[in-house]
Structure 1
Amino acid sequence: MKIAQIPKINPDTFTTRPEIEGTFGVVASTHWIATAVGMAILEKGGNAFDAGVATAFTLQVVEPHLNGPGGDVPILVHDVRRGKTEVICGQGPAPARATIAHYRAQGLDIVPGTGLLAACVPGTFDAWMLLLRDYGTLSLADVLSPAIAYAQNGHPLLERANATIATVADLFRTYWPTSAAVYLPGGNVPTTGSLFANPALAGTYTRILQEAEKAGGDRIAQIERARRVWSQGFVAEAVDRFFRTQSVMDVSGSPHRGVLTGEDMARWQAHVEAPLTYDYHGYTVCKAGPWSQGPVMLQQLALLKGFDLTGLDPVGPDFIHLQIECAKLAYADREKFYGDPAFVDVPMQTLLSDAYNDERRRLVGENASLELRPGSVEGFGAVLALRREEGQRSAVGALGSGEPTVGRLGEVRGDTVHFDIVDHAGNMVAATPSGGWLQSSPVIPELGFGMGTRAQMFWLEDNHPASLAPGKRPRTTLSPTIALRGGKPYLAWGSPGGDQQDQWIAQYFLRHVHAGMNLQEAMDAPAWHSEHFPISFWPRTARPGVLVIESRVPDATIKELRKRGHEVEIGPAWSEGRLTAAARVDPFRRAAANPRGMQGYAAGR
């Protein structure tokens, strides 16, 4: 396979920090404490997968506004022993009683973005146990102990966590007292930098560990016991009891009782599946299937393959225009075709084919498109109804909604979390845990955490690939990535940010491949995103033609983009995305983390 030659970078390229380089191993995550925990596990003799599990549990504690134990996760792994890249699906499905008829009977035409009705089976815990059992080497105690310690003893509260709690403080005080008991100690919003603890969560994980260790000294037996304690023991019992007995105020403005049960949790386990892949300029890019939005990036590459991006200014109007217009087409196809392939046929082979994308590429013109233009594949897809944003935001506010994301101006939001790890042996993991945010669903008091709200991504309409159905996976936005170069595992990367993830992920890759930027330079470069297509979260609105762009992009570029018809909104200089990345370039291991948000760090040696 011929590998594209990477051009030399501009010597004036600005970076905030160096690209991390070593030979032992690297960890990059969206929080410095989680990065340190991951490195400590590598130093202890664990592999990338052990470090990933410990990093993930720590992120639940130190970034509770961005992910939690009740959430979900897709994990991409490359295990050198197996010699292949795989996807671990930690996306739990809709409960057995989650039918369109049930939600319609509640007077709803869209699944609320908060509360109990949007809860799916929580998938993170079982996914991490699968990763630890089949790919890791350390014990459950090794990987859980750091998270337990930070939950019990406290960690410095992030500014964004403080801001998030402040935003929903009245909701907690008035409607969600169990959340107020955890996140409003003494009735007050905890201050930024104060030592914040969650003893109930520490107690939950301590009890799981104690129950697991009753299985004896065998690590596999302990992990299997922990899985049962979660899905069939006291955790599932507490979830079941809370959902049966509580009617909870949600973003619809009315209280609702949830449909998730302990039986739903007992029936489900995480599983491994093959990734979707696309070859681009000597790289093979691997993503999760169409139950995620991951194929959107692959479709962008299939469209962009017909343009010569090498040599274009990565902050110039041509580069931005081409990437955004191709993203619009790919996201339109997401809306029409994507869904859980266990329930619906998704024509991915066609959507990634040269013939299909050669035809779609003809729609990319000199001017910005202002319509949602999905493709046509006979016998597949759905008719799309667009909900424009006008008049919708007034319904949001103190009740909160959707997945928090950094991509919207003028709103106090977080996003989700991400990490990438490469160890000395070359094992590689990329994961984007999310859901179960402190603002998504009330805390279950016995457990110290609430459930996720991923079911808001379902449509309450028949005959749509993403329609709600019992046992069906919602089409998540979570989208970690691994790329091979010349057939060998090379790069793991990703970003928080809901619908924006596969825009920032694609931009990052294009800057690295076509502009020759290293991992940190490609991350620090000015970025942007489109809000042209329907968001995946309540209230499912779209802003046709809107392009949000960092103020660091040159004025001449912004002027030209507006001339081409883009509705350009200028965001703060460092506001787009929170990428991290890790690479294997034998004998070196390299990593980078985004300065945006002032909390992501990479480490290695």
Structure 2
Amino acid sequence: MTFTTRPTLQGTFGMVSSTHWLASQAAMGILERGGNAFDAAVAAGFVLHVVEPHLNGPGGEVPAIVATAQDPAPKVLCGQGPAPAGATIAHFRSLGMELIPGSGPLAAAVPGAVDAWLLLLRDHGTVRLAEVLEPAIGYAGAGHPLVGRVGDTVAAVRSLFEEYWHTSAELWLRDGRPPAAGEMFANPAYARTLRRLVDAGRAAGPDRDAEIEAARRAWREGFVAEAIDRFSRKPFQDSTGRAHAGLVTGADLAGYTATWEEPVTLDWHGYSVAKTGFWGQGPLLLQTLSILDALDDPEGYAPATATGIHTQTEALKLAFADREAWYGDTDVPAQALLSGEYARERAALIGARASAELRPGRPDGAEPRLPAQLGRAAGRRTDLVDPSTGEPTVRADGVTRGDTCHVDVVDRWGNMISATPSGGWLQSSPTIPELGFPLGSRLQMFWLEEGLASSLAPGRRPRTTLSPTMVHRDGEPVLACGTPGGDQQDQWQLPFLLRHLLGGQSLQEAIDAPGWHTASLPASFYPREMEPGVLVVEDRLDRDVLAALRAYGHEVRLSDPWSLGRLCAVARDPGTGLLSAGANPRGMQGYACGR
């Protein structure tokens, strides 16, 4: 039997998996009180704002994929806020910039997470606003024990807070020091913000939809928008080493609403795999699966062998090259990118040697265009993740490489959701004191060059790395999964899916298996580095496999044995109603629960 760190949970009532045990249990508590999977996910989402503030926040975003018991076809909830009206290439160029900063208010997109969670609650939830926000209000108001990585993050940016971001210092450097692991920490200002949303809803009367809509208005047009508008106009130090004011205004918040969209799907080995649209990176997982299929080589599907890892890595490189050339919130040749003919063209490029080139394809014969800045970023070395936890590294100026949370829920009725909240990190921008949270820095994922798929433009969504996944079989949802990890999200999901769906491993077995990813791709985060030919692997991978990977030409970089990936997953067998869940043991923070 394959080793696992914990059992795959099984039951028939409900299952939750998230990147923090308090969020998982808050969601389970909602299920126990009669709420459905969507009520539970909303409760978990707001708790994650409180307990993983270095990885997500109210000023960030959330994409999700949902399937309801009444309509099991997957739908995408897009809570990705766009670039504000003042965010033009000309504005950034006038400030002497070639790249958008990786921290500070100038890099903020319009916050999308809170409106998206509330839209989900209105359209598919069943309980009242006060009930789903109660756990987050409790943890923010009365306090909760902080995980160690929060204090580590604050310590990394301590000088920035002390010298320039005084409102963040007031919140996070109490008694003049970063919070310690396990220390009780409260954020009274954010608790008050959530209570005011609840009060705004109650004032709208007894109708549940009216209550939620009133809270959304208070966020988009009321006291939250007003505070963001005032604070965003103040200049603060950012990763350029200079102070700049932000661009998000109250009008930007008032003009934004989260949306429901159709997913991008791929029929694959009897399954249908659903991802968000090409405005995010999600479809590259579908491209990678198509390329592997086009090889018609079973060894390429073996994620524990050198041949399998090599083949999958080379397929991922090709998909990432296409991401850079073609993906964005614009017209994308989607049908061509996912066609069998195109997959065969791309698969023909995979050989017996690791490639260090960035090789975008020509869907429908179109000529790819890559950012000129990539030539100046290539070859820089960077530690993509902290080898002790798999979480992002944070520089002293607040720049973060990779960041995110995840939550999956399935209930006894067959409702299912996969959500990847992120952005609005405590280190991304100064804290807005009356609200208790900062804005995000998602604009850094745009290029300041005209004519690219991911060129900056007002109203466009940044091409983020956030990539929830849902899998159907015979029209019914059977699996929801995802992971934090920036550019690694789909890389870590790929072998998980191969192990579980094709290899027959349980959720926990597939999560616990040794992880790996390529760094031979343009990073989505400032300063947009890439490391041609580098393959990062957990050093518990078999020594013969490591030697064979080097023989293939990969520059193998060893990471700590339990360091890569923070996968969450829930599953449902439509025939029996059996539910299951697994969660990542790396970092000793993610947990599943259920019965």
Corresponding residue for 2:468?
Answer: 480
Corresponding residue for 1:540?
Answer: 528
Return the letter of the residue paired with 1:166. Answer: A
- Trace 1:250-261 onto structure 2 (pairs within 5 A): 250-261=238-249
- Trace 1:34-49 onto structure 2 (pairs within 5 A): 34-49=23-38
Check if 1:99 corresponds to 2:88: yes
Corresponding residue for 1:363?
Answer: 349
Deviations 1:275-302 (A, max 9, x none): 0000111110000001110001000000
Return the letter of the residue paired with 1:61. Answer: V
Corresponding residue for 1:221?
Answer: 210
Return the alpha-carbon distance in structure 2 between the equivalents of residues 83 and 119 of structure 1. 35
- Trace 1:333-344 onto structure 2 (pairs within 5 A): 333-340=322-329, 344=330
What is the CA-CA distance between 1:44 and the residue it aligns to?
A: 0.5
Counting matched residue pairs gives 580
Return the alpha-carbon distance in structure 1 between the equivalents of residues 379 and 534 of structure 2. 13
Is contact 1:314–1:515 with CA below 8 Å preserved after alignment? Answer: no
Identity across matched positions, percent: 56
Return the alpha-carbon distance in structure 1 between the equivalents of residues 533 and 588 of structure 2. 30
Check if 1:353 corresponds to 2:339: yes
Return the alpha-carbon distance in structure 2 between the equivalents of residues 132 and 519 of structure 1. 28
Deviations 1:410-442 (A, max 9, x none): xxxxx3100100000010000000000001011
C-alpha change, 1:481 and 1:74, in structure 2 (3 Å) is same
Check if 1:111 corresponds to 2:100: yes
> Secondary structure of 1:120's match?
coil
Return the letter of the residue paired with 1:346. Answer: V
Match of 2:578 among 585, 588, 597: 588
Is contact 2:572–2:578 with CA below 8 Å preserved after alignment? Answer: yes
C-alpha change, 1:305 and 1:381, in structure 2 (3 Å) is same
What is the CA-CA distance between 1:380 and the residue it aligns to?
A: 6.0
Return the letter of the residue paired with 1:416. Answer: T
Return the alpha-carbon distance in structure 2 between the equivalents of residues 60 and 396 of structure 1. 18
- Trace 1:71-110 onto structure 2 (pairs within 5 A): 71-110=60-99
Deviations 1:213-234 (A, max 9, x none): 1001111111000000000000
Corresponding residue for 1:603?
Answer: 593
Corresponding residue for 2:389?
Answer: none
What is the CA-CA distance between 1:354 and the residue it aligns to?
A: 0.5
Return the letter of the residue paired with 2:587. Answer: G
> Secondary structure of 1:542's match?
coil
- Trace 1:140-539 onto structure 2 (pairs within 5 A): 140-244=129-233, 246-306=234-294, 307-309=296-298, 313-340=302-329, 344-377=330-363, 378-379=365-366, 381-385=368-372, 386=374, 387-388=376-377, 390=379, 397-402=395-400, 404-405=401-402, 415-539=403-527
Return the letter of the residue paired with 1:366. Answer: A
Return the alpha-carbon distance in structure 2 between the equivalents of residues 376 and 64 of structure 1. 41
> Secondary structure of 2:105's match?
coil
C-alpha change, 1:312 and 1:134, in structure 2 (3 Å) is closer
Is contact 2:380–2:529 with CA below 8 Å preserved after alignment? Answer: no
Cα RMSD (Å) of the superposition? 1.5
Match of 2:118 among 129, 135, 141: 129
Is contact 1:528–1:548 with CA below 8 Å preserved after alignment? Answer: yes
Deviations 1:523-571 (A, max 9, x none): 0000101110110010011000000000010111111111111010000
Return the alpha-carbon distance in structure 1 between the equivalents of residues 382 and 352 of structure 2. 32
Return the alpha-carbon distance in structure 2 between the equivalents of residues 384 and 451 of structure 1. 27
Return the alpha-carbon distance in structure 2 between the equivalents of residues 309 and 46 of structure 1. 43
Return the letter of the residue paired with 1:592. Answer: G
Is contact 2:470–2:480 with CA below 8 Å preserved after alignment? Answer: yes
Gaps of 5+ in 2: 384-392
> Secondary structure of 2:244's match?
strand
Deviations 1:140-186 (A, max 9, x none): 00100110000011111101111111111111111101001111112
Corresponding residue for 1:410?
Answer: none
Return the alpha-carbon distance in structure 2 between the equivalents of residues 440 and 311 of structure 1. 39
> Secondary structure of 1:277's match?
strand
Return the letter of the residue paired with 2:163. Answer: T
What is the CA-CA distance between 1:313 and the residue it aligns to?
A: 4.8
Is contact 2:380–2:531 with CA below 8 Å preserved after alignment? Answer: no
Corresponding residue for 2:7?
Answer: 18
Return the alpha-carbon distance in structure 1 between the equivalents of residues 368 and 257 of structure 2. 29
> Secondary structure of 2:107's match?
coil
Return the letter of the residue paired with 1:338. Answer: Y
Is contact 2:471–2:478 with CA below 8 Å preserved after alignment? Answer: yes
C-alpha change, 1:601 and 1:558, in structure 2 (3 Å) is same
What is the CA-CA distance between 1:391 and the residue it aligns to?
A: 5.7
Is contact 2:291–2:343 with CA below 8 Å preserved after alignment? Answer: yes
Corresponding residue for 2:387?
Answer: none
What is the CA-CA distance between 1:381 and the residue it aligns to?
A: 4.2
What is the CA-CA distance between 1:314 and the residue it aligns to?
A: 2.9
Return the letter of the residue paired with 2:320. Answer: Y
What is the CA-CA distance between 1:515 and the residue it aligns to?
A: 2.1
> Secondary structure of 2:63's match?
strand
Q: TM-score, normalised by structure 1?
A: 0.94
Return the alpha-carbon distance in structure 2 between the equivalents of residues 366 and 138 of structure 1. 56
Return the alpha-carbon distance in structure 2 between the equivalents of residues 129 and 380 of structure 1. 41
What is the CA-CA distance between 1:398 and the residue it aligns to?
A: 1.2
What is the CA-CA distance between 1:323 and the residue it aligns to?
A: 0.8
Is contact 1:347–1:380 with CA below 8 Å preserved after alignment? Answer: no
Please identify, of 43-52 and 304-313, the stretch whose mean Cα deviation from structure 2 is larger: 304-313
Is contact 1:229–1:235 with CA below 8 Å preserved after alignment? Answer: yes
Return the alpha-carbon distance in structure 2 between the equivalents of residues 396 and 602 of structure 1. 27
Is contact 1:345–1:380 with CA below 8 Å preserved after alignment? Answer: no
Return the letter of the residue paired with 1:121. Answer: V
Return the letter of the residue paired with 1:358. Answer: R
Is contact 1:346–1:380 with CA below 8 Å preserved after alignment? Answer: no
Return the alpha-carbon distance in structure 1 between the equivalents of residues 85 and 433 of structure 2. 24
C-alpha change, 1:322 and 1:271, in structure 2 (3 Å) is same
Return the letter of the residue paired with 2:369. Answer: A
Match of 2:21 among 32, 48, 55: 32
Corresponding residue for 2:53?
Answer: 64
Is contact 1:72–1:90 with CA below 8 Å preserved after alignment? Answer: yes
> Secondary structure of 2:71's match?
coil
Q: TM-score, normalised by structure 2?
A: 0.96
C-alpha change, 1:380 and 1:266, in structure 2 (3 Å) is farther
Deviations 1:218-275 (A, max 9, x none): 111110000000000000000000012x111011111111111000000010010000
Return the alpha-carbon distance in structure 2 between the equivalents of residues 499 and 32 of structure 1. 24
Is contact 1:381–1:464 with CA below 8 Å preserved after alignment? Answer: no
> Secondary structure of 1:117's match?
helix
